[in-house]
Structure 1
Amino acid sequence: MTQITLDTHVSDIVTQLPQSTDLFRKLRIDFCCGGKIALKDAAEARNLGPEEVFNQVKALENKREQRESMHPASFGDRTLVSYIQEKYHDELREELPAIAPYVTRVARVHGDSNPHLLRIEEIYKELRDELLAHTEDEDENVFPLILEFLKNPTTELKEQIKPHVLELEEEHENAGRLLNELREITNDFTPPADACGTYRTVYARLEQLEKDTFDHVHLENNVLFDRVREYL
């Protein structure tokens, strides 16, 4: 991965760090048609301090690196649950609404000539609604029950928790099916050669969503739920 500097093109930063599109959009820095410009020059063109903008980009990069450097499979039960909530659930609540304007715009502008973009919008909306409802249910209902059960695996709690785990795993499978369809219809998230910056942003952020969701599901199905299954 190339080191980001003040001389890195804005478009290259977006390719390497898709979440930076939200920052550039807020700062009104063009990362699409006018993205082939050094970050320093782009900041100065908007009368912004280049170092200040650069530090905000690096903060996003550092946040991602910190998340990736952790090894949650070795965490205790309560720490593992907190990690899932902070890394994946909080991130989904932030990222899913943030992607929406880009998905909608690309479907509206390019959907007539690229009908698969309309299907991408449909899948995205279904995935967004399901994942947000899913994480809310886990945070408010299932995770507290799991922690109580792992601390005190009584027969009564066992009967309460079994249907929840099965339901969550079914929801995980459905999310996986939707993500697999996204990968298929986007040709492995490969945008056309002439795709605009927003088009490329949609593909990049959906691919990152796929990666994070698969990591998220793995951690729940194969680490947290396995701990529960030891007592079932």
Structure 2
Amino acid sequence: MNTVRKISPLSSVSDIVNNDYRTAAVFRKYGIEYCCAGKFPLQMVCESKDLDFTAIINELEQSIHPISIPNNLPFEKWDIDFLIDYIVNIHHAYLKQVLPDTKDQLEKFAEGHYKNYPELTELVLVFKSLTLEMLPHLQHEEDIIFPYIKQIAHAYDNKEAYAGLLVRTLRKPVENVMNHEHESINKVLARMRKLTNSYTWPEQSCTNHRVTFLKLLEIDSDLVQHMHLENTILFPRAIEMEKKLLYL
């Protein structure tokens, strides 16, 4: 059974973040330094800033609460509507929150480290391009692509008379997303991995360096799973339904 890991009030802020990078977001929220100047015990820092120590401890412990999704979930057997809702509420919601925050975090980190790590200049630009591309892409899926797929799935399941006309009028957007937009996102991820040596931070790097790279790795992993669900399960099912509906 998963349990919340307890955080000692005597642990230094930097040690807490080094033990789990996800706690950094809580410290940023309260303006608590966790990198080079984060050597003081958490309780002392909270008292010096007149912060609610108990509330912060609770937030920190919740931020590292283990949440796991089984690898053997039968995604391919899920109802189309349920699969789409899962993608929107899990993957889209995550990206809408994390991409802008991480872009800001990366830019601030890079400002003080360009001289030692010149590759950060391009990394910032690449991640910014990912953010600018992904957010409209997510909205386009939610506003156009997913409602269309739900509509043709309903028409297919109920053998609606209008189904063939619907496909003839609106077909191609699914294939365009799968073949072009996702290909572009994969190229951006490949470049990020190249620039970060697969998110491996240099020896003697600061805590913020490790936190930033681990957050980029987290986003990369989510996008890989997200696009897998769409490219290998959702979109092929939609395209197959389109083909069959044309002959109804």
With the length of structure 2 as denominator, give the TM-score of the two structures. Answer: 0.81
Deviations 1:196-228 (A, max 9, x none): 222222211111110000011011111211221
1:4: which partner in 2? 5
Q: Is the partner of 1:94 in helix, strand or coil?
A: helix
Q: Is the 8 A contact 1:191 1:200 kept in 2?
A: yes
1:27: which partner in 2? 30
Whole-Å Cα distance in 2 between the matches of residues 155 and 12 of structure 1? 61
Greater Cα offset, 214-223 or 30-39: 30-39
Q: Which has the higher helix share?
A: 1
1:37-48 aligned at under 5 Å gives the runs 39-48=42-51
Q: Is the 8 A contact 1:72 1:80 kept in 2?
A: no
1:141: which partner in 2? 144
Q: Is the 8 A contact 1:96 1:128 kept in 2?
A: yes
**Structure 2 residue corresponding to 1:219, chosen from 229, 240, 246:** 229
2:160: which partner in 1? none
Confirm whether residue 88 of structure 1 aligns to residue 98 of structure 2. no
Q: CA deviation at 1:33?
A: 1.4
Whole-Å Cα distance in 1 between the matches of residues 168 and 24 of structure 2? 46
With the length of structure 1 as denominator, give the TM-score of the two structures. Answer: 0.86
Q: Is the partner of 1:111 in helix, strand or coil?
A: coil
Whole-Å Cα distance in 2 between the matches of residues 9 and 162 of structure 1? 57
2:166: which partner in 1? 157
1:41-120 aligned at under 5 Å gives the runs 41-62=44-65, 65=67, 68=69, 71=73, 73=75, 74-120=77-123
Deviations 1:30-89 (A, max 9, x none): 221134555445444433343321221233334x616x3594714322221111111111
Greater Cα offset, 72-81 or 190-199: 72-81
* 1:208–1:30 distance in 2 versus 1, CA, 3 Å: same
Larger CA Rg, structure 1 vs 2: 2
Whole-Å Cα distance in 2 between the matches of residues 201 and 2 of structure 1? 23
Count of aligned residue pairs for this structure pair: 230
Q: CA deviation at 1:161?
A: 4.9
Unpaired stretches in structure 1, ≥5 consecutive residues: none
* 1:13–1:162 distance in 2 versus 1, CA, 3 Å: farther
* 1:141–1:76 distance in 2 versus 1, CA, 3 Å: same
Q: Is the 8 A contact 1:150 1:228 kept in 2?
A: yes
Whole-Å Cα distance in 2 between the matches of residues 127 and 33 of structure 1? 29
Q: CA deviation at 1:100?
A: 1.9
Q: Is the 8 A contact 1:22 1:98 kept in 2?
A: no
CA RMSD of aligned residues (A): 2.6
Q: Is the 8 A contact 1:24 1:30 kept in 2?
A: yes
Unpaired stretches in structure 2, ≥5 consecutive residues: 157-162, 244-248
Query: What's the % identity of the aligned pairs?
Result: 27
Greater Cα offset, 164-173 or 134-143: 164-173
